Amino acid sequence: MSLLGSGSMLLLLLLLFGHSLGAPGSFSVDYQKDCFRKDGEEFRYISGSIHYSRIPRIYWKDRLLKMYMAGLNAIQTYIPWNYHEEFPGQYNFSGDRDLEYFLQLAQDMGLMVILRPGPYICAEWDMGGLPAWLLKKKDIVLRSSDTDYIRAVDKWMGKLLPMMKPFLYQNGGPIITVQVENEYGSYFACDYNYMRHLTKLFRSHLGEEVVLFTTDGAGLGYLKCGSIQGLYATVDFGPGANVTAAFAAQRHAEPRGPLVNSEFYTGWLDHWGSPHSVVSSAVVAKSLNEMLAVGANVNLYMFIGGTNFGYWNGANNPSGAQPTSYDYDAPLTEAGDLTEKYFAIREVIKLYHKIPAGPIPPTTPKYAYGTVGMKKLQTLSDALEILSFSGPVKSKYPQTFIELNQAFGYMLYRTSLPVNCNTPTPLSSPLNGVHDRAYVSVAGVAVGILERDKVITVNVTGKAGSQVDILVENMGRINYGSQINDFKGLVTNLTLGKDTLTGWTIYSLSIDEAVRQDLLWEMKPTDSPQPLAPYLPAFYAGSFIIPDGIPDLPQDTYIQLPKWRKGQVWINGFNLGRYWPTRGPQVTLFVPANILSTAAPNNVTVLELEEAPCSLGPCSVEFTATPILNATVPSYGNWQRKLFSKDDLL
């Protein structure tokens, strides 16, 4: 089905089932009857999490309608601060960031909204949604009463919350509850004054009637610092948990009122180098039934996970970055496809209230566009004049991304060997200051990779004065626990032997802008043989045409890069995200149809960081109709995450 055809069907269904803007209503906590009350009537929500920031705007209707047709009467969504204010005072609520449009769509669908505006959200999102520019104050204490942090929060909430107020249920909108902060009981600060400040801040902008709440793990240790008077305390826990014991923890904080599991995990998150998380439909359905049977309100996290496009993925610890896919083994896949789990959940919900009549929107079709030949454009170091819009910065010691006003992506650090290294000499980051991965070359020859928490030394040889290039990749900032002050780049000095390296020239790289402007495509592709591995980071390009005479094209697809190792990929200037099939478990990247064209060739740009398969002949990428998110992964240490628990990350 084409996007046009799908949109027409969605419009028809919206007319059949949709709800127009309503009159102001009431929504409250009934502490006597242990329930919520909506317009005076007892109300129980069965909700699902959807992150608008992980789904192209063109697909919001499709995903919301599938959620409505599953029997949900509410959705839950986070608002990532850094998604809307990438630079201080510069707000973006347009296109895929049009939050008000998303909320209106939910209301039109007949779905209530549980809003989670932070300021911190976790969400496996870069820095838990906090903007990296907060780190310009190096000793800032995030998520606390730190005056600089509070000043920034007040300004952001002063922009956001007035936008949200018309969407409150009391004002005729869909928002029934608003979360303050997020799992604060899992954070070391335990700053009650901070939580009190946020409570007053939210009340001042949203009024006294809206139900404000907190969410924490289902344990007294979490609720001790996470709950506070004036905010309704809820808990989160996954399938297989002791439902009675979990809600008993909530009852410790809230002796009366509705039972609420704000994050009932339908799946779990992934990390590069660890197996894809899978949670069985039967276990999810069983636990959901147990909660609904005792009258609990439940939010299914996630109902659809979506994609960490670009650089938006977070990291759960210094070496635990999340992959591009945020599929989460959710009831709807990353691409919005229906699953066995979707229907299992729908059958459980049927036991408790009527499911909407009418057809469920089908899984969107996928198309395998086939193989696309790629040619080398230029090495990254040779393209510096094109990539570094701001030009080089000279510094005795390395500077971080934030010191050079760059939040994401890659930065090149250049110096020279101060002495002859006739025998292999260790180039090291003795304080583990490579954040997060560094590709090292000497005199134009790649010599190795430094990696945070894993590899802090490579041996180099060369003559005094030889150019040393170190390309540093920001793999995604830590989003959970005590290490969210996550500076990127070379955050401490490097040493050569026993001596500290000095005399740096640093290039902030605007790769995304260069790709969007087709500046790299203006280079003449090279057919010259590549040097022997390991290779220098380099750009490669190819294009393919989608015929405009075939009905229903373009369609969604997946790109995979056989025999490529690690890098970043763009299509028509849109940053799809990172690929790393050599570490896995993700192999394919989701390509939504809206970024493809039938009117012009579709340009594919790849930044391969380690080794492109182009040395012995033609190389290519492949578009397929089937995702691969569960490839076998090699062993990178014995760190394996326990499902539904983050205790090891605190």
Selection from 90, 81, 78, 79 nearest residue 405 by Cα: 90
Q: Which of 124, 183, 451, 610 is catalytic?
A: 183
Selection from 363, 354, 359 nearest residue 73 by Cα: 354
Give the tokens for residue 568.
Answer: 């970043």
Q: What is the DSSP string of 551-591?
A: TT-S-BEEEE-TT--SEEEEETTEEEEEE-TTT-S---EEE
- How many other β-carbons are positioned within 10 Å of the β-carbon of residue 340? 11
Contact criterion met (CB below 8 Å) for 99 and 173: no
CB hemisphere CA count around 155 (13 angstroms)? 13
Contact criterion met (CB below 8 Å) for 612 and 376: yes
> CA 569 to CA 620: how far, in whole Å?
13
Q: Which of 85, 124, 181, 263 is catalytic?
A: 263
Q: How far is CA 522 from CA 127, 297, 541, in A?
A: 35, 56, 11
- How many other β-carbons are positioned within 10 Å of the β-carbon of residue 523? 15
**Would you call 41 a catalytic residue per the annotation?**
no
Please list the alpha-helical segments (H only) found in 388-540. 511-516
> CA 46 to CA 353: how far, in whole Å?
10
**Would you call 183 a catalytic residue per the annotation?**
yes
Q: How far is CA 89 from CA 156, 205, 367, 581, in A?
A: 8, 19, 41, 38
Provide the angle, in degrees to the nearest 10, between the axes of the packed helices 281-293 and 243-253.
Answer: 50
Could you tell me the strand order of the sheet in which 619-624 lies? Answer: 574-579, 567-571, 602-608, 538-544, 370-379, 619-624, 557-560, 589-591
Kindly report whether the peptide bond that precedes residue 418 is cis, defined as omega within 30 degrees of 0.
no
Give the tokens for residue 525.
Answer: 């592709």
Residues in the chain: 650
The Cα diameter of the chain in Å comes to 82
Give the tokens for residue 27.
Answer: 């929504």
3-state SS class at 6: helix
* Positions marked catalytic: 183, 263
